[in-house]
Structure 1
Amino acid sequence: MSVLLSACGDDGGKATGATNPSTNNTTDETSATSEADSETGPSQQTTSGPTGPEPTTTAPASTSDGTTTEASFITPPDGGGGAKECDQWTQDCPEGQKCMPYSGDGDNAWESLKCTPVMENAGSVGDPCTVEGSGVSGIDNCGKGLMCWDVTEGVGVCVSLCIGSPDAPDCAEPMASCLISNDGVLTLCLPFCDPLLQDCPGDDLCIPNPQSPDAFLCVLDASGEEGQEFDACEYINACDKGFTCANPQVALECDAMAIGCCVAFCDITEADVCNGQNSECIAWYEMGQAPPGLENVGYCGIPQ
């Protein structure tokens, strides 16, 4: 499935991204396909490795300053393609410049790549940052190989772009996972998190990485007014904190005709934690397959 991110609004806005749920395997709560290419950046295919519900990957758009508002964060590719003047994987721009995603068609989604100046005293990973013009301008004061992300009121944080290649993406930081979206234009190294603790900063959500079933990462909240338990969803990040966009077949309360449905994460060691009829806390991973620290992660659903 694919992922796509977008920014919308003005400098005071907050960019959001969403990934839409999709149903692949029986363990596909991390997979989804997005369809809001005009709303967010690049898209990427998600896979489901765990036994969790099958999610989708579409998203709303983010604000013009790179923050999230009513737009999507993870959305499907539009099948088109913006201008790609450089390669963000190899950073092949001239000295003093960096290859950056930007919006070249006037909307709030990253669909193109271009070389932009590396500012003096450029920021490192985790440093506060600012953007020039808007969050999709491609111009910021982060260092080479970095991007100003999650901008609110004109200020964001520098995050790394992925390293490696589209076929073998990686992150230089040990506690981050590569998320590829917007037809491969947006490649972000986002921090790991715990879906049971929902320990991401601010309003960010902790959800499965559509491209890596062994990783949960922090993404922008694209739920808006919806996103409560059993609400319909089209994106992985279109549910409130503590929920994930899954295959609607996992709960009787879900709309069976919807693309996805918000269901709760749960701790498999705790009893009677699920609200749905006939629902139980089902282990996200097959026995013995959970990464360290995620052994107790589950989701509320009807055992199949």
Structure 2
Amino acid sequence: MTFVRLPPFLALSFTLSLASLSACQQAEFEDDEGGNGGSDEQGDQGDQGDQGDQGSSSESSGGEPTLNCDPGDEMPCPEDQKCTVVSTQGGVPVYDCVTDDGSKLPFDPCTPAPGSGQDECPAGTACIPSEPDGESGLCLELCLADDDCETSLCTEMPGQVVPICAPICDPLGPLCPDPQTCQRVRNSAFVCRFPTESDIGTTAEVCDIVTDSGCAEGFVCETGQIIPGCSDPSCCTPLCDTSGADSCQSPMSCNELPLDPLPGLENVGACYIPQ
């Protein structure tokens, strides 16, 4: 994938070890060897927006993305073209080469351009809306698996199907581009992503522990029985620094998160009553 320069507010994320990413599970979408973006035939297809719709119908039953080009390849398209998402028909993304109209930088605000892919985002990125079918978003790096990302995790934004490289962040000192927040994914990793309308829960408020959602930035969803005042099987509780003074409200104390953290985030804990 084409290397892109990231803005200063993500510098802290990049101090984390790349080795941590190898331990993470692969994203749901795997590389399709049949979708080789470097063929001559693809070059002829160019930036015909309806190509994506045709490809979508041919694979909608399988649930795999259509790869008329591979966004993880170093040179997935002919010169002056970029590999981007042209549709998500059938609930899966369709990737194709379109004219490279990139005039923005990664993480710049943008307007999604479903169908044409002409969103002014640079090669290797696409304008991902801040909410499903929204009219505004950010230029975010595309991926199919963690190996396509540098110091990021390949994941999907809530309610969306296009996987992107989400920068790892420190939830005790988050540095995410607005309107993204630092939230937990995969149980032990924290990344910058768009919050949903339901991500507002604070101490002892109900959340979804299966999807790890429903909590505001600075909180995580944990088992309800270890959180005083929780009336549900799972509730939000504050994050805390296990290496500093205990900031948790009694009778809770600052304890380690249930699963091993990524390197550099070993001091991130949560407030609860140990069992």
Asked if 1:89 is matched to 2:56, the reply is no
Letter in 2 for 1:216: F
Distance 1:218 1:303 in 2: 29
Counterpart CA distance in 2 for 1:184 and 1:130 is 16
> Could you say which structure has the greater relative contact order, defined with CA pairs below 8 angstroms and 6 or more residues apart?
1
Alignment match of 2:121 (pick from 139, 142, 151): 142
Aligned residues: 212
Q: Deviations over 1:266-301 (max 9, x none)?
A: 1224445223x63210023789x7623x24211011
**Structure having the larger proportion of residues in strand:** 1
Structure-to-structure mapping, 1:37-56, within 5 angstroms? 44=28
Contact 1:190 1:218 in 2 (8 A): yes
Shift of the 97–225 alpha-carbon distance from structure 1 to 2, 3 Å rule, reads closer
Which residue does the alignment assign to 1:21? none
Structure 1 runs not aligned, ≥5 long = 1-30, 32-42, 46-78
Shift of 1:195: 0.8
Alignment of 1:173-212 (within 5 A): 174=151, 176-180=152-156, 185-210=161-186
1:98–1:117 CA contact under 8 A, matched in 2: yes
Where does residue 216 of structure 1 map in the other structure? Answer: 190
CA distance, structure 1, for counterparts of residue 121 and residue 245 of structure 2:
46
Read off the aligned partner of 1:298 and give its amino acid letter. Answer: G
* Structure 1 contact 196–267 (Cα < 8 Å) conserved: yes
Compared CA separation, residues 170 and 209, structure 1 to 2 (3 A): farther
What is the match of residue 263 of structure 2?
A: 291
> Given the two structures, how large is their TM-score scaled by the length of structure 1?
0.55
Query: Displacement of 1:265 after TM fit?
Result: 0.2
Which has the larger share of helix?
Answer: 2
Tell me if the contact between 2:237 and 2:270 (Cα under 8 Å) persists in the aligned partners: yes
Tell me, yes or no, if structure 1 residue 232 matches structure 2 residue 206.
Answer: yes
- Contact kept, 8 Å, 2:112 with 2:129, in 1: the verdict is no
Give the aligned CA root-mean-square deviation in angstroms.
Answer: 4.0
Structure-2 change in CA distance of 1:143 and 1:126 (3 Å): same
Percent identity reads: 28
Q: How much does 1:221 deviate? A: 1.5
How many Å apart are 1:99 and its aligned residue? 3.9
| Cα offset, 1:218, TM superposition | 1.0
202, 224, 236: which one aligns with 1:262: 236
Partner in structure 2 of residue 156 of structure 1: 137
SS class of match (2:269):
strand
Q: Which residue type is aligned with residue 302 of structure 1?
A: I
- Contact 1:265 1:298 (8 Å CA) reproduced: yes
1:178/1:190 contact within 8 Å kept = yes
Equivalent position SS for 1:169 = helix
Cα distance change on mapping 1:271 and 1:83 into 2, 3 Å? closer
Asked if the contact 1:91/1:98 (under 8 Å) is kept, the reply is no
> 1 CA distance for matches of 2:162 and 2:88?
11
SS of corresponding position for 1:114: strand
Matches within 5 A, 1:119-138: 119-132=100-113
C-alpha change, 1:286 and 1:144, in structure 2 (3 Å) is closer
Are 1:301 and 2:275 counterparts?
Answer: no
Contact 1:81 1:183 in 2 (8 A): no
Matched AA of 1:156: G
Cα distance, 1:141 vs. partner? 1.9
> Which deviations, in whole Å up to 9, do the C-alpha atoms of 1:234-288 show, x marking residues without a partner?
243421121112233431422344xx4211101224445223x63210023789x
Answer yes or no: is the 8 Å Cα contact 2:226–2:272 preserved in 1: yes
Q: What CA deviation, in whole Å up to 9, does each residue of 1:17-62 have, x standing for no partner?
A: xxxxxxxxxxxxxx9xxxxxxxxxxx859xxxxxxxxxxxxxxxxx
